[in-house]
Amino acid sequence: MTLVALLALTTQAWAADTYTITFSGFGNEACNKTVTDATLEYSETFLVSDVYANYQVLNGVGGSNDYVSITSQAETQITITVKSAFEGTVNVTVYYINENGDESQSDISVTCVKSAPAITVEWDAATKTGTFTQPASDVVLTPIYAKAAAFATTGTEPDVKTLLPEAAEGVIAGTDASLIAEGTGIVAFAGTSTEVTQGTLMYAIGTSATEAPALTAFSATVPTAENVDEDGADVYVWYYIQGADAPANVAATLDNTFENTEPACLTVTVLSNKFDIQFNAANANTIEAGKATVTVGGTAATVTEGKLQGVKMGSEVKVTAKEGYKFRKVEVKKKAATPTLKDALADGATVVITYTWMGSNVTTFTYTNNGGNYTGNTTGMEAAYFANGMSKDGTTLKFTASDLDLPEANVSIDFFTDTNEYSAVKGSSFTSFTISVNGTDLTSQLTEAK
């Protein structure tokens, strides 16, 4: 944790010695007085009537010594001065004639106690070090620790969201695309400020999701896919908030000094930067028969079975008809993306579960996503007896089927679209299943969750 301050900060290396002085013994008790933070020489002036209300004449004063002196002025006032430091109590005396005409006297007590010395702590924010010089007395050392910096939040209870960094999606290797999703990884403001944050968000690329890189590897630069191999990979992005220190020449407080957070990791899936070009020749084997040539980035490329593989995004692809041949035109269309399990969550998606049980019995469940509600029909073996349904819970697709006649044929499958995994509760008659989305069988893409 970050050490914010030690003891009480003062502006001088050593403040002047101070004392607590108490005057007591007055006839008028309201004049009994305690003064704190007094420096020497310290004086207080009182009326003689405060010593004895009905005095007639002031006869004199006495008791002055090396520490305290008493003097009189105009036979109506006295002044008591603490001249030198001492520990304890001394008395001075006022002599007067009382209302009966008799000589009398009253003692005034003066108590002096030295205050504890003020101590300056020289604070070095860069090294988080506080330094002071030990005085000739005991001291109490009170460290004050900063709280950890925090991420900003959005929303209101109970739907508050912490704006942690999130993995960007659809990032292609070798590009300058950020690995962190826009609008995430926002550090909270410090205190009541709307400009100064509690720290700086730091990033580093790691080699695993469990062991953080050294802090020296982190920087405030948001990582991109620029240096990711063109084949794509899962990239381990580590992050933490480097807590803010107090500004120069400003005392550290709980509102301007913050501790670092612990490093955390998120895994970003960076997509391959190798793409295929499928050539649909106007005549059979136009290119492979030598009627045309293809270059990629100025280098001759080989087309095999009508396909050119591994072309990097941004490459210049040139198709040239050889002498004696002409192109009327060349059409280029973006190939449809390969369907994924996540497509099942989109409105209008068609999802088909083919369930095989007891070895060879097959029942097919077909659903259509209508705004998040899955409706459909059942065909095949025992179709009329299977109570079934599909729903989604966040990014999880849930399928259940219960045979009213044969409970051993019951099945329940959760499809985790974020990870292409599934978890199944299988009856004893379960044999296998397939799942297709929008006409594409995705079963081979799935793995069973451990």
Do 163 and 268 reside in the same domain of the chain? yes
pLDDT reading at 5 higher than 60: no
Q: Which of 52-61, 66-75, 317-326, 360-369 has the lowest mean pLDDT?
A: 317-326
Do 171 and 242 reside in the same domain of the chain? yes
Report how far residue 200's alpha carbon sits from residue 215's, in angstroms, rounded to the nearest whole number. 13
pLDDT reading at 404 higher than 60: yes
Domain that holds residue 219: 146-272
| Summary mean pLDDT of the chain | 88
Do 259 and 170 reside in the same domain of the chain? yes
**Predicted local distance difference test score (pLDDT) of residue 304:** 83
Do 258 and 281 reside in the same domain of the chain? no
Report how far residue 30's alpha carbon sits from residue 43's, in angstroms, rounded to the nearest whole number. 18
Residue 135 lies in a domain: no
β-strand pairing of 161-162 with 396-403: unpaired
Do 178 and 189 reside in the same domain of the chain? yes
pLDDT reading at 7 higher than 60: no
Across residues 369-396, what is the average pLDDT?
93
- How many C-beta atoms surround the C-beta of residue 323 within 10 A? 6
Do 283 and 261 reside in the same domain of the chain? no
Query: Residue 2: pLDDT band by 50, 70, 90 thresholds?
Result: low
Q: Which of 193-202, 259-268, 290-299, 380-389 has the lowest mean pLDDT?
A: 290-299
* CB 402 within 8 Å of CB 386: yes
Please say which residue of 321, 350, 381 terminates a domain.
Answer: 321
Report how far residue 227's alpha carbon sits from residue 182's, in angstroms, rounded to the nearest whole number. 20
Q: Which of 196-200, 210-214, 313-317 has the lowest mean pLDDT?
A: 313-317
**Predicted local distance difference test score (pLDDT) of residue 125:** 62
Do 418 and 442 reside in the same domain of the chain? yes
Residue 1 lies in a domain: no
pLDDT reading at 135 higher than 70: yes
Report how far residue 19's alpha carbon sits from residue 69's, in angstroms, rounded to the nearest whole number. 17
Q: How many domains does the chain have?
A: 4
Across residues 147-159, what is the average pLDDT?
92
Do 257 and 151 reside in the same domain of the chain? yes
**Predicted local distance difference test score (pLDDT) of residue 145:** 81
- CATH classification of the domain holding 50: 2.60.40
**Predicted local distance difference test score (pLDDT) of residue 47:** 95
Residue 132 lies in a domain: no
Do 159 and 262 reside in the same domain of the chain? yes
pLDDT reading at 10 higher than 50: no
Residue 240 lies in a domain: yes
Residue 127 lies in a domain: no
**Predicted local distance difference test score (pLDDT) of residue 121:** 80
Q: Which of 281-290, 305-314, 373-382, 421-430 has the lowest mean pLDDT?
A: 281-290
For the ranges 14-18, 110-114, 326-330, the maximum mean pLDDT occurs at: 110-114
Report how far residue 390's alpha carbon sits from residue 365's, in angstroms, rounded to the nearest whole number. 9
Per the model's pLDDT, the better-predicted residue between 242 and 131 turns out to be 242
**Predicted local distance difference test score (pLDDT) of residue 424:** 95
Across residues 28-55, what is the average pLDDT?
92
pLDDT tens-digit readout, 226-285:
999 999 999 999 999 999 988 877 877 889 999 999 999 999 999 999 888 888 765 555
pLDDT tens-digit readout, 297-318:
999 998 887 888 889 988 999 9
Do 79 and 57 reside in the same domain of the chain? yes
Do 256 and 282 reside in the same domain of the chain? no
Residue type, 357: W
pLDDT reading at 6 higher than 50: no
Residue 10 lies in a domain: no
Residue 248 lies in a domain: yes
Do 154 and 176 reside in the same domain of the chain? yes
Residue 260 lies in a domain: yes
The pTM score is 0.51
Please say which residue of 272, 296, 330 terminates a domain.
Answer: 272
Quick one: three-class SS letters along 274-308?
CEEEECCCCCCCCCCCCCEEEEECCEECCCECCEE
**Predicted local distance difference test score (pLDDT) of residue 219:** 97
Please say which residue of 272, 293, 308 terminates a domain.
Answer: 272
Report how far residue 126's alpha carbon sits from residue 262's, in angstroms, rounded to the nearest whole number. 19
